[in-house]
Amino acid sequence: MWTTVVLLIYILIASSIVISILLHGAKPSKTLAWLLAIFTIPVGGMLLYLLLGRNRRKNKLLKLKKQTFYNLPKPTIDHMAALEGEYQKLMLLVYRNSHFPPTSHNQLQLLKDGKTTFEAIFEALENAREQIHLQYYIFEEGELANRLLNLFEQKIVQGVRVRMIYDGIGSFTLSKSYLKKLKGIGVEAYPFLPFRFGRFLSSLNYRNHRKIIVIDGQIAFTGGINISDKYLKGDQALGNWHDMHLEMQGLAAGHLNHIFSMDWYLVSQELIEKTVLEEKSRASNSNTLVQIVSGGPDDDFPSLEQAYFTIITQAKKYIYITNPYIIPGQAIMQALQTAALGGVDVRLMVSENADNKIVSWCVRSYFETLLKAGIKIYLFPDGFLHSKIIVSDDMISTIGTANLDDRSFEQNYEVNAIVYDVSFAKLLQQDFQMDANISKMLSYEEYLQRPWSEKLKEGFGKVFSPLL
């Protein structure tokens, strides 16, 4: 009797999931994979799908309309005519996806590695007058966290309002005692989709991977660096952590503040009023053109993937990509191969050392196909390289939080800054060349001779690529 009841319940649940997959499946390959998992792995297949497979773009449970918060400015003729119109297509694409037009009157400072980045961050925080907005995927306790705690206490006494968002999974190790101290001094701190059993299945796979600091709506920071002492001291397993961050002063900083404000509403249900400081935010001594692109699982289209795809396909001379997790889907793979076969100098740089073996095997599983198309691949040997950089043709570059994988494009909340500036692009190009000089460049012929054990590991890793 009970066996029959359980079987009927299982069939009903499995049938409803199958119908949902058929109606809302985003990609045929993934749809087929999930159908096979459900039919061949009783119970386990369904649980995996509920955890990792649902298409958030369709059910819109987390949908936040940007128009609810601000009427963002529309792009002007001057904006869209920048660089003699060469990147108008990209500018319009980003605007339609993220609703942020390109803005001039920005001043940028490239920050390489933890020491330089945190020196700049703490200097800016110390000069805060009205508000500090801070949001991180990983916020770990240690010297940096304690230094922030002390600084926040001083600024709150001075009348500065401090708001903080930390990801519920990425910052899972953050202790209750530290959070109690934060809230005790007056910091308004909220987790993003915290680990709770009641909504475990619906939220585990959707993380906020953004790293944002905005001070008074005028100065902002974003990039790959989290709040963790390993960016200053390294760690025993990997050694030094190398990463890139960006400091922005000007109108683009206000757009990062919009993104924080939307995430803040999601976690706190509080609307942040636009400040006078933010409205006047512009760096008068610079005219650097910057466009902010944000993406998340509640957007209609994968905005970061489309932006990366467009930058790759528009490259004429070269495109250099630094990223620790290059796990290209079909569109990005085709774009890279087409560019290389068409004569564009395509170079990829990844870390030789990895923070996750399965992810590393998956990344390397694409090397043979990429090398065959004439793409140059460099393995950076010193510690762990975590930067997320693209630079092309000495004209355009992007720096931010998004990796080249489906997780960043489909499941995570991410943010990047696209910079339409020759001098900034040349700076990143030169930095890539310096790192390439100390890296190992792979050879297609030599790579074919790798041991079968490595090929087997790569094959195993590739199977898990849709879940990584």
Mean model confidence pLDDT for the chain: 85
Percent of the chain with pLDDT over 90: 64
Q: Which residue in the list 167, 263, 299, 393 is annotated as catalytic?
A: 393
d(CA 168, CA 77) in angstroms, rounded, equals 42
pLDDT of residue 297 exceeding 70 = yes
Catalytic residue check, 393: yes
As a whole number of angstroms, the distance between CA 148 and CA 181 comes to 11
Looking at the predicted structure, is the pLDDT value of residue 299 above 70? yes
Choice among 39-48, 100-109, 199-208, 449-458 with the minimum mean pLDDT? 39-48
Q: What is the dihedral of CA 323, 327, 330, 333, to 10 degrees?
A: 50
Tokens standing for residue 62: 């987390």
User: Rounded to the nearest 5°, which phi and psi values hold at 350?
Assistant: -130, 165
What letter does residue 405 receive in the DSSP assignment? S
Residue type (1 letter), 11: I
Q: What is the pLDDT of residue 357?
A: 87
**Ordered DSSP codes for 67-99:** GGT--PPPPPHHHHTGGGGTTHHHHHHHHHHH-
The lowest-confidence range among 18-32, 171-185, 310-324, 403-417 is 18-32
Backbone angles phi, psi at 294, to 5 degrees: -115, 155
Question: pLDDT at residue 57 above 50?
Answer: no
Residue matched to tokens 């004439």: 374
Any bridge partners for residue 227, and if so which?
139
Q: What is the CA radius of gyration of the chain?
A: 23
- Asked if the model's pLDDT at residue 29 lies above 80, the reply is no
User: Among 33-37, 253-257, 344-348, 354-358, where is mean pLDDT lowest?
Assistant: 33-37
Q: Is the pLDDT of residue 77 over 70?
A: no
Question: Checking phi first, is residue 460 left (phi over 0); if not, alpha (psi -120 to 50) or beta?
Answer: alpha
What is the distance between the alpha carbons of residues 360 and 108, in angstroms, rounded to a whole number? 33
Q: Does the annotation count 243 as an active-site position?
A: no
Report the distance separating Cα 191 and Cα 357, nearest Å.
28
Model confidence band, residue 221 (pLDDT cutoffs 50, 70, 90)? very high
Place of tokens 């499941």: 411
Active-site residue, selected from the candidate residues 79, 99, 105, 209: 209
Both structure tokens of 405 = 């994988």
Spot the catalytic one: 133, 230, 376, 386: 386
3-state helix, strand, coil in the chain (%, to 5): 50, 20, 30
- Predicted local confidence at residue 105, as pLDDT: 86
CB atoms within 10 A of CB 164: 23
User: What mean pLDDT is predicted for residues 169-195?
Assistant: 93
How do the domains of the chain map onto residue ranges? 2-54, 107-286, 303-467
What's the mean pLDDT in 127-154?
97
Convert the pLDDT of each residue in 227-259 to its tens digit.
999 999 998 889 999 999 999 999 999 999 999
Interior angle at CA 290, CA 306 and CA 316, nearest 5: 55
Instruction: Let me know if domain 303-467 sits in CATH 3.30.870.10.
Output: yes
Separation of alpha carbons 354 and 238, rounded Å: 8
- Between CA 239 and CA 233 the distance in angstroms is 8
Residue 198 has pLDDT above 80, yes or no: no
Least confident range of 17-21, 272-276, 390-394: 17-21
Among residues 99, 211, 255, 457, the one annotated as catalytic is 211
Indicate if 386 belongs to the active site: yes
The active-site residue, picked from 258, 388, 421, 431, is: 388
Q: What is the mean pLDDT of residues 167-174?
A: 92
Say what the pLDDT of residue 28 is.
Answer: 54
Report the range of poorest mean pLDDT among 148-152, 194-198, 326-330.
194-198
Report yes or no: 249 and 106 within 8 Å, Cβ to Cβ.
yes
Fold of 107-286: Endonuclease; Chain A (3.30.870)
Query: Structure pTM?
Result: 0.86
- Proportion of the chain above pLDDT 70, given as a percent: 76
- Predicted local distance difference test score (pLDDT) of residue 60: 47
Q: Judge contact between 351 and 380, C-beta under 8 A.
A: yes
Q: What is the pLDDT of residue 272?
A: 87
Which residues in 59-86 are b (16+ Cβ under 10 Å) and which e? Answer: eeebeeebeebbebeebeeebbebeeee
Residue 462 has pLDDT above 90, yes or no: no
- Sequence-distant (≥ 6) Cβ neighbours of residue 91 within 8 angstroms: 75, 79, 80, 82, 101, 102, 291, 420
Please tell me if the domain spanning 107-286 has the same topology as the one spanning 303-467: yes
Residue 235 near residue 147, CB atoms below 8 Å: no
Taking every pair of C-alpha atoms in the chain, what is the biggest distance, in angstroms? 79
In the 8-state DSSP scheme, what is residue 66? Answer: G
Token look-up 């869209």 returns 80
The one catalytic residue in 105, 113, 167, 216 is: 216
Q: Measure Cα distances from 426 to 25, 78, 126, 319 in Å.
A: 41, 24, 31, 12
Has 24 been annotated as catalytic? no
Question: Residue 58's pLDDT is what?
Answer: 45
* pLDDT tens digits for range 429-457: 999 999 999 999 999 999 999 998 898 88
Measured CA to CA, the distance from residue 77 to residue 72 in angstroms comes to: 16
At what angle are helices 303-314 and 330-341 packed, to 10 degrees?
Answer: 10
pLDDT for the residue 457: 87
* Per-residue confidence (pLDDT) for residue 61, from 0 to 100: 45
Do residues 307 and 67 make contact, with C-beta atoms less than 8 angstroms apart? no
Q: How many residues does the chain have?
A: 468
Whether the per-residue pLDDT at 270 is higher than 60: the answer is yes
258 is catalytic: no
- Helices 176-185 and 143-157 cross at an angle (nearest 10°) of 20
- Look up 388 and say whether it is catalytic: yes
CA atoms of 247 and 219, how far apart (whole Å): 7
398 neighbors 368 (Cβ within 8 angstroms): no
Q: Which residues of 442-463 are buried (b: 16+ CB within 10 A; e: fewer)?
A: bebeebeeeeeeeeebbeebbe
Instruction: Provide the sign of the torsion angle of the four alpha carbons 136, 389, 231, 406, taken in this order.
Output: positive
